[in-house]
Homo-oligomer: A and B are copies of this chain.
Amino acid sequence: MNEIFKALADPTRREILRVLRERERSAGEISELFPLAKSTLSGHFNVLKAADLIEQDRRGTTITYRLNTSIFEEVVTHLFDFFGTQQPIAQRKES
């Protein structure tokens, strides 16, 4: 859980998650979207992977990353631990 929050603390990593939300992408595709060295992004991928926020999938020399949505439940659950709202939460419109 600590690793998840650590991973979410960096704006670049949150942006990577946002980008992967649309569709899965290769490391190279992602790198075109950021003004950062590929090695820097690779480091971010490692952090996100360690937090189990993304999964990877190799095809040939290309590595594709995709969001692990199942972890989402876990984060929300822990947020409840902090805030413990009694009020109904989030009458949310579908996104």
A-side residues, CB < 8 A to B, are 2, 5-6, 8-9, 11, 14, 17-18, 21, 67, 69, 71-73, 75-77, 79-86, 89-90, 92, 94-95
Inter-subunit contact A69/B85 (CB<8 Å): yes
The answer to whether A73 and B95 have CB atoms under 8 Å apart is: no
A94 to B67, CA, bound (A): 29
When the two chains form their complex, are residues B72 and A21 in contact, meaning their CB atoms are under 8 A apart? Answer: no
Given contacts A79-B79, A90-B90, 5 further A-B contacts (CB under 8 A): A21-B81, A72-B82, A72-B89, A77-B90, A86-B95
Secondary structure call for the A interface: helix
Residue numbers in B under 8 Å from A67 (CB-CB)? 82-83
